[in-house]
Amino acid sequence: MRFELTKDFLDQLRLAIVEENNTWIIEHIHELHFADIADLLDQLNNEEAKYVYFQLSEDVQADVLMELEEDIRDRFLKSLSSKEMADQLENLDSDDAADILGELPEEKIQEVISQMEDDEAAEDIVELLNYDEDTAGGLMQKEFIKAKMSWPVNRCLVELRRQAENVENVYTIYVVDDANRLVGLLSLKRLLFADIKTHISDLYQKKNIISVKTNDSSDDVAKIMYKYDLVSIPVVDLQNKLVGRITIDDIVDIIKEQADKDFQMATGISDKIESNSSVWRVSRARLPWLLIGMLGGIFAANVISGFTDQISHIPTLALFIPLITAMGGNVGVQSSAIVVQALAKGTDQFDRIFKRLTKEALVGLLNGTFLAAIIYGIATFFGNAILGMVVSISLFVVIIFAGIFGTLIPLILNKYKIDPALATGPFVTTLNDVLGLFIYFTVGILLYS
Amino acid sequence: MRFELTKDFLDQLRLAIVEENNTWIIEHIHELHFADIADLLDQLNNEEAKYVYFQLSEDVQADVLMELEEDIRDRFLKSLSSKEMADQLENLDSDDAADILGELPEEKIQEVISQMEDDEAAEDIVELLNYDEDTAGGLMQKEFIKAKMSWPVNRCLVELRRQAENVENVYTIYVVDDANRLVGLLSLKRLLFADIKTHISDLYQKKNIISVKTNDSSDDVAKIMYKYDLVSIPVVDLQNKLVGRITIDDIVDIIKEQADKDFQMATGISDKIESNSSVWRVSRARLPWLLIGMLGGIFAANVISGFTDQISHIPTLALFIPLITAMGGNVGVQSSAIVVQALAKGTDQFDRIFKRLTKEALVGLLNGTFLAAIIYGIATFFGNAILGMVVSISLFVVIIFAGIFGTLIPLILNKYKIDPALATGPFVTTLNDVLGLFIYFTVGILLYS
């Protein structure tokens, strides 16, 4: 039932493009789902993709355009004239059109907008361009369906039919008063089964109307829609006037992006990269993290250089350097990760810090005791009982300290409005490396002297 | 407009519970959104929560129950008798009821089901319990709306009104033939504006019907719904008969869970833990990763112990041990992370491995050259030009090797159906620690001799 993109099909399509065999293209492409057509175009070069794209009907064009991979879409749009681009934007939902336009330079934006024929669509887009892209205003679309409280059902049906033409997915009808203030919701289901003479004011849901304001952050919007299980949410301005709606697909994108970002941060990649990004871009995205890591290594070298005398006398001290640094890093990142996740969920507060630190210290005590006991025997085997004591005592101390630092740092970053996920990267690891080595050699000197 | 949970309100509520002041409770709680009521109950002890819960109307009870935190819900349900639990399950959507029931021991399940009064609901739940929870069958609910192709619109409206009573969110009507085989979709919008004498067969969408089979994995369902921008998807059996639907809220949960899992894997936590999990549980979730890290440290000690003679002669060699291990680990995890993300998106294949490795080697060459050049100067400053050469050459080699290992390991894990995200944990780091040290000391011996 679902389309599988094969190399064979691609070859045939390429041939049809060369031969300008539009009958073949229309016959084989028109049947496909727009998401599959987009996948197909992602595989073609720009000229080929353009050729196929302009064989599609306008409605399908809009859907396909939004499903293209970002790089491919940018390349495609860049190759269009302002007039062509204006035509394409008119077919898109207003939020998508504004997102695309927002990426362009100021003059180009004006040029494209002046070429748009549908004044209402152009106005909507211009309005949306005013909002910061990370706010509810930047996410919302102007396509939604509203009904006035005072309408009877039959009038409502007539009005809705007109409005519904532009709205792809109707989940809920927003009910407003005469001043366009949001007063409630009406489900299509309810409307469908209502007597045509009933007034909307007797049908609509007044209680528990969840809406967001245009300047609410997109993270907050995502949290609210997730918490209240909403597939769409109305957006109001400061006077509670209905100005747009946000649909779940945008929120799923935000959740995915946030998760990708946290994951990349935790694994030391500083920029949004895909597996098909260029060598140069991948290299640049990784370098900052590696430089921090290297800086940590240099600090560590500096710490150890204070102990070269001890090392030349007792070279077995060097054996456990990697163990101490690795364990400090691992414990620190583990602790940070739990805090970062809690902060992302909004379940954790800076003022619960003491409780959290106590707990972290307890976990450290438990794991530290267990691991220190194991390493005592092993280090004794590699060196002697003194080395066993040095390694196990310092490991124990390192585990507790690393846990506390790992907990504190993301909380502090968050307090100062810096992304706490930074702490799961090389930052905490590096700090713990240096600290761990210092503890290790200090314990070493104390016990060996 | 949105409810803010304050300590004050909680205190008042607790007082009302003690005083059995139901008027206060009903007045102040009934107005709230179910998600807010759930937040409230999450803060109470089980006896208090139970008291408030049973003041709610049945409809609200079901919604609140599903919004409770998992631990709290489990505790709450355990404190109910089989009869009470059966009553609660009858109010839930079938998928939620089956999920809750599926957690119980076999005898308890039978006991609860035998206490259910609504036979149809009980049958639905029993059917759903047959499916593996990680499949479309395990995710789907039996609450959906279907229409027969042969119905005229007015008949359809009558039938739908009956069906719609049990279905909370109606997004799409599924159209079936006389044998209950899925043939297409009908949007409520379309139905709303159709002439009542039209037949469904003239209205419904036949092309591009995306459905999943009961045994499709939940990951695949999530990918498909995301790809095709669906808020609900019909589920069919092997004969293409319509058996259920999956809604977007379940998919958002899957996406979140998957992201949390990857993040926890990358940060070295082996079990699903929340910030409010017990010390004991947190400790256990972290130990496996720390043990692997420690094992790596012991291997590293073993490698270094082969070079103690060199270290006692040239103790500055020990200075850069942390740098070499840290850089190997960082590069390895970076490379793995990109592969893991590509695999999760389904954009990467094992057979494109050669292309990927070449690219990884190029990135390594670029970053390796840059970082090696910097460290040459610094290591020369700490020791001498030979140490500079040793550190920079081995760093260069380590970066390239770590990149290649970091790429290969998740691909291999994935090939053998093991979660590739494992590679972003201490696994790759540990391997690279040991390998890096070996390279470092070997280069050291070669250049110093």
For chain A, the first-to-last Cα distance in angstroms comes to: 77
Q: Which of A301, A266, A276 lies closest to A422, judged by CA?
A: A266
Contacts of B42 in chain A (CB under 8 A): none
Its pTM stands at 0.82
Contact B297 A324 (CB under 8 A): yes
A-B Cβ pairs (cutoff 8 Å, strict): 347
pLDDT digits (tens, 9 = 90+) for B266-319: 887 776 666 667 788 888 888 888 888 889 889 999 999 988 888 888 888 999
Q: What's the CA gap between A365 and A370, in Å, rounded? A: 8
pLDDT band for position B352 (cuts 50, 70, 90)? low
Mean pLDDT score of chain A: 87
Contacts of B37 in chain A (CB under 8 A): none
Which H or E element spans position A187?
Answer: strand A182-187
pLDDT digits (tens, 9 = 90+) for A7-62: 888 899 999 999 999 999 988 888 889 999 998 998 888 999 999 999 998 888 98
Q: What's the CA gap between B232 and B245, in Å, rounded? A: 7
Asked whether the beta carbons of A233 and A218 are under 8 A apart, the reply is no
Q: Rounded mean pLDDT of B69-97?
A: 89
Min CA distance, B2 vs chain A (Å)?
7
Residues 6+ positions from A155 with CB-CB distance below 8 Å: none
Min CA distance, A114 vs chain B (Å)?
31
Q: Rounded mean pLDDT of B32-52?
A: 91
| Cβ contacts of B56-59, under 8 Å, gap ≥ 24 | B56/B29, B56/B30, B57/B30, B58/B91, B59/B91
Q: What's the CA gap between B57 and B60, in Å, rounded? A: 5
Query: If you compute the radius of gyration of chain A from its CA atoms, what whole number of angstroms results?
Result: 30
Tell whether the model's pLDDT for residue A348 goes beyond 60.
Answer: no
Q: Which of A166, A162, A160 lies closest to A148, judged by CA?
A: A160
pLDDT band for position A449 (cuts 50, 70, 90)? confident
Q: Which residue of B has its CA nearest to A236?
A: B1
Q: Which of B429, B406, B432, B409 lies closest to B420, judged by CA?
A: B409
ipTM: 0.81
Q: Which of A404, A396, A447, A431 lies closest to B294, judged by CA?
A: A396
Q: Which of A348, A445, A429 lies closest to A394, judged by CA?
A: A445
Contact A334 B269 (CB under 8 A): yes
pLDDT of res. B284: 84
Q: In Å, how far are A389, B130, B360 from B107, measured between CA atoms?
A: 53, 16, 55
Contact A297 B334 (CB under 8 A): no
pLDDT of res. A234: 96
pLDDT of res. A274: 65
Asked whether the beta carbons of A209 and A148 are under 8 A apart, the reply is no
Q: What's the CA gap between B278 and B275, in Å, rounded? A: 9
Mean pLDDT score of chain B: 87
Asked whether the beta carbons of B319 and A304 are under 8 A apart, the reply is yes
Tell whether the model's pLDDT for residue A347 goes beyond 70.
Answer: no
Contacts of B160 in chain A (CB under 8 A): 192-193
Min CA distance, B124 vs chain A (Å)?
23
Helix locations, B103-170, DSSP H: 106-114, 119-129, 136-139, 153-164
pLDDT of res. A271: 66
pLDDT of res. A334: 86
Q: Domains of chain A, with CATH numbers?
A: 7-132 (1.25.60.10), 146-254 (3.10.580.10), 279-448 (1.10.357.20)
Q: Which of B269, B294, B258, B301 lies closest to B429, judged by CA?
A: B294
Contact B347 A275 (CB under 8 A): yes
Neighbours of A20 (CB within 10 A): 10
